[in-house]
Structure 1
């Protein structure tokens, strides 16, 4: 038993040596893999990369493949695409003290040359939204809404949206471009909406009455016009008839006058007319001093 002890010690030492070598090899392989895969990076289109070395910004990266120092450098990707953030329940009062709940959305983007500033000041886009947009958007919407009456903000909704957009652009100072602000909905109180409905209903009734009055006025004018036309027609007929009678009378008078003048100038024509009209019968009775008809005793 005592003679076999040196062999056992040798085997233990050999085993320990192999285990240590294996561990070292494994660590070398791991370090090699880390160096291999940690020495390059990719940035997608629509993004920009912020390169950090031990936490310090050393530059930015364009879209595509890039290389860095493994275990020392890291890349933070920041989107430069268009983003939209929504605000569902913004409370505001109109100039005539009408409460309203508004829903709005803000469309914005990060300029590619501002990604370094975004990371340095905010670390991420979400943090930037919370610290810039979330503070200014409700305030500016409330301020601009207060310059409009409840009726005018509905009637001039496009102008209201433009005014809100300009106010937000002026108030936000930071690495962000505000593209547009959309006022998606404006909800007034139920009491106000009911009063608007009642007013609109009353206006509709008034307009209906005005239309009816106008219709009756037009109908009356038509009737007057028709009556005037009928009167003018009757007057024209009467004038025509009177003129016809006058002309006929003048013609008859002229004929009588001509006949009288002809008879006065030719007395024999009177006797001829009498003879032509005599039926050839003698009267059955005669006065003592009478003569035979149509016989001039002197001739």
Structure 2
């Protein structure tokens, strides 16, 4: 029998290969165990652990955690804001009309509801959370729509959307927290749309008729305003002409009054001048007669001579005075 020392290197290779393979398998097993011993929870998730099917207490927060390899199963659940798209579905209104609604439900999962969603609703884990909510959402939408008539949808969706949100939030309060509900798709029944289009067309026709009537009324008012303006202009022109004539007549009257006043003043001045002249002439004649009488009285000879020269030969017909102081008045001829 040959000793081991006499074996060639080629004869010892199978033993070395098996040994290395064993080392590799051991190392691989260790790495596998290590990889199954840790798990990471993302910032948008939480996790719970089942050990041999039994739920372990405690909620695993974001970070790296240890688990028992091959015994523990980790179930993850997103707790960030999630959106559940609800496809367009046909619903019936209270007046037996159809509407099609498509919704988007935004929600969060409270930490207090994580265990219930993972292990008490549907299958174990997070595989059918959205599918479990779908029938609840359909039922709540159906109940809300069934209380509305088609006119209420046509008048506005705000109140209906809020009512659907409140109904879904109430029904899912033990599982999720509903943040928002939006109606992303909406379609009315074909018959209602047709009648609504006819109503809109009739309303548009009525508005067009009202606009045409308003246009005609505006044109009539413009024509009336134009006629009133022209009439007012004529009235103002006539009044202006009349005022001008009155002003001219008043000016003419004033001019005539001034001329008459000037003539009257002239006549008055002339009459006054003539009166003064007559008065002065009378005074002068009176003074002359008085002087003449004084001269005659003081010079009887002159008087006798004057009488003799101018006596006509007739006896005086008038004598004034008494006694020796008398003055006979002879009819004498005027001196030449």
* 2:326 aligned residue: none
Distance 1:119 1:217, change over 3 A: same
Distance 1:135 1:259, change over 3 A: same
For the residue of structure 1 that corresponds to 2:69, the secondary structure is coil
Query: 1-side partners of 2:35 and 2:237: how far apart?
Result: 114
Query: 1-side partners of 2:143 and 2:232: how far apart?
Result: 69
* 2:36 aligned residue: 38
Query: 1-side partners of 2:28 and 2:255: how far apart?
Result: 147
Query: 2-side partners of 1:235 and 1:135: how far apart?
Result: 84
How far is 1:254 from its partner? 4.6
How far is 1:126 from its partner? 4.2
The CA deviation string for residues 79-109 of structure 1, in whole angstroms up to 9 with x for no partner, is 2233222222322223443211111121222
**Conserved in 2, the CA contact under 8 Å of 1:91 and 1:142?**
no
Distance 1:263 1:92, change over 3 A: same
- Choose between structure 1 and 2 for higher RCO, CA contacts under 8 A separated by at least 6 residues: 1
How far is 1:235 from its partner? 1.1
**Conserved in 1, the CA contact under 8 Å of 2:113 and 2:174?**
no
For the residue of structure 1 that corresponds to 2:43, the secondary structure is coil
Distance 1:258 1:144, change over 3 A: same
Deviates more, 1:66-75 or 1:197-206: 66-75
How far is 1:171 from its partner? 1.6
For the residue of structure 1 that corresponds to 2:174, the secondary structure is coil
* 2:229 aligned residue: 229
Query: 1-side partners of 2:73 and 2:143: how far apart?
Result: 43
Distance 1:80 1:245, change over 3 A: same
* 1:93 aligned residue: 92
The structure whose Rg is larger is 2
For the residue of structure 2 that corresponds to 1:61, the secondary structure is coil
How far is 1:166 from its partner? 0.9
The CA deviation string for residues 148-191 of structure 1, in whole angstroms up to 9 with x for no partner, is 33233243212221121111101224321212111112111222
How far is 1:255 from its partner? 4.0
The CA deviation string for residues 93-149 of structure 1, in whole angstroms up to 9 with x for no partner, is 234432111111212222234322222213233423323x21221122222223433
Matched, 1:72 2:67: no
Supply the RMSD in Å over aligned alpha carbons: 3.1
Matched, 1:186 2:197: no
Distance 1:48 1:256, change over 3 A: closer
Q: How many residues are treated as equivalent by the alignment?
A: 249
Matched, 1:200 2:207: no
**Conserved in 1, the CA contact under 8 Å of 2:76 and 2:126?**
no
Deviates more, 1:257-266 or 1:45-54: 257-266
**Conserved in 2, the CA contact under 8 Å of 1:90 and 1:102?**
yes
* 1:128 aligned residue: 129
* TM-score scaled by length of structure 1: 0.72
The CA deviation string for residues 53-83 of structure 1, in whole angstroms up to 9 with x for no partner, is 1111113322221112222222122222332
Contiguous gaps of at least 5 residues in structure 2? 2-14, 271-336
> Which residues of 2 match residues 107-126 of structure 1 at below 5 A?
107-122=106-121, 123-126=124-127
* 2:45 aligned residue: 47
Query: 1-side partners of 2:260 and 2:34: how far apart?
Result: 149
